[in-house]
A and B are shown apart, each in its own frame.
Chain A
Amino acid sequence: MAAREVIGGRRFAKAAERYGIVAVVIVMMVFLALLQPEYFLSVQNLTNVLKQIAMNSLLAIGMFLVILTAGIDLSVGSILALAMMAVAMADKAGWPWPVVLLIGPGVGIIVGAINGLGLTLLRLPHPFIMTLGTLNAVRGLTNLISDGRPISGLSAPVRFLGSAQIPLPALGPFGAIPVSAFVLLVCYGGVALFLRKISVGRHIYAVGGNPQAARVSGISVDRILILVYVMSGFFAGLSALLLAGRTDSGFPNAGIGAELDAIAAVIIGGASFFGGRGTVLGVFSGVLIMGLLRNGLNLMNVSVFWQQLLIGIIIILAVYVDVLRRRAAVRTEELTQSRATHWLLRRRRDLDSRSTTT
Chain B
Amino acid sequence: MDEVADAGRKPPLLEARGISKYFGAITALDGVGFHLARGEVLGVVGDNGAGKSTLMKILSGLFQPSAGEIVFQGDPVRFASPRDAHRIGIEMVYQDLALAGNMPIFENIYLGREPGRRFLGMTIVDQERSRQMAAEHLDRLHIEVKSVDQNVEDLSGGQRQAVAIARATAFDARLVIMDEPTAALAIKEVGKVLDLIKSLKEHGVSVILISHRLDDVFYVCDRVMALFRGGNFAEAALRDTSRNEVIGWIMGTKGHTAALAHDRVQ
Which chain B residue shows the least CB distance to A276? B102
Q: Is the CB of B114 within 8 A of A202?
A: yes
Q: Is the CB of B101 within 8 A of A210?
A: yes
Task: Mark contacts of B98-141 with chain A using CB atoms, 8 A cut-off: 1 yes-contact digit, 0 otherwise.
Answer: 11111100011001111010000011110100000000000000
**Residues of the A chain whose Cβ atoms lie less than 8 Å from the Cβ of B96:** 212
Which of A210, A212, A220, A276 gathers most chain B CB within 10 Å?
A210
Q: Is the CB of A210 within 8 A of B112?
A: no
Given A216-B98, A217-B111, A217-B113, decide whether A209 and B103 contact each other with a Cβ distance below 8 A. yes
C-alpha spacing A213/B92, complex, angstroms? 11
Given A205-B103, A220-B81, decide whether A214 and B124 contact each other with a Cβ distance below 8 A. no
Q: Is the CB of A198 within 8 A of B100?
A: no
Q: Is the CB of A203 within 8 A of B124?
A: no
Q: Is the CB of A213 within 8 A of B98?
A: yes
C-alpha spacing A213/B96, complex, angstroms? 9
CB distance from A341 to the nearest CB of B (A): 12
**Residues of the A chain whose Cβ atoms lie less than 8 Å from the Cβ of B169:** none
Given A206-B103, A212-B96, decide whether A218 and B122 contact each other with a Cβ distance below 8 A. no
C-alpha spacing A212/B103, complex, angstroms? 14
Instruction: Choose among B60, B101, B102, B154 the residue that contacts A216 (Cβ–Cβ < 8 A).
Output: B60
Q: Is the CB of A206 within 8 A of B111?
A: yes
CB distance from B87 to the nearest CB of A (A): 9
Instruction: Choose among B92, B112, B127, B154 the residue that contacts A203 (Cβ–Cβ < 8 A).
Output: B112
Q: Is the CB of B123 within 8 A of A210?
A: no
**Residues of the B chain whose Cβ atoms lie less than 8 Å from the Cβ of A216:** 60, 62, 82, 92, 94, 98
Given A202-B114, A202-B125, decide whether A213 and B154 contact each other with a Cβ distance below 8 A. no
CB distance from A320 to the nearest CB of B (A): 21
CB distance from B179 to the nearest CB of A (A): 11
**Residues of the B chain whose Cβ atoms lie less than 8 Å from the Cβ of A199:** 114, 116, 122-125
Which chain A residue shows the least CB distance to B120? A198
B243 beta carbon closer than 8 Å to chain A: no
Could you say which interface size class chain B belongs to? Answer: 20 to 34
CB distance from B24 to the nearest CB of A (A): 15
A208 beta carbon closer than 8 Å to chain B: yes
Interface size on A, residues (CB 8 A): 23
A28 beta carbon closer than 8 Å to chain B: no
Which chain A residue shows the least CB distance to B86? A218
**Residues of the B chain whose Cβ atoms lie less than 8 Å from the Cβ of A200:** 122
Which chain A residue shows the least CB distance to B111? A217
B83 beta carbon closer than 8 Å to chain A: yes
C-alpha spacing A199/B125, complex, angstroms? 6
**Residues of the A chain whose Cβ atoms lie less than 8 Å from the Cβ of B122:** 198-200
CB distance from B104 to the nearest CB of A (A): 11
**Residues of the A chain whose Cβ atoms lie less than 8 Å from the Cβ of B102:** 205, 208-210, 276-277
C-alpha spacing A95/B250, complex, angstroms? 74
A354 beta carbon closer than 8 Å to chain B: no
Given A209-B101, A333-B154, decide whether A217 and B124 contact each other with a Cβ distance below 8 A. no
Given A199-B125, A215-B62, decide whether A210 and B83 contact each other with a Cβ distance below 8 A. no
- List the interface of chain A (C-beta within 8 A of B): 197-200, 202-203, 205-206, 208-210, 212-220, 276-277, 333
Provide a sorted-by-A list of 16 A–B residue pairs whose CB atoms are within 8 angstroms.
A199-B116, A199-B122, A202-B125, A203-B112, A206-B100, A206-B107, A213-B108, A215-B82, A215-B98, A216-B62, A216-B82, A216-B92, A216-B94, A216-B98, A217-B112, A218-B86
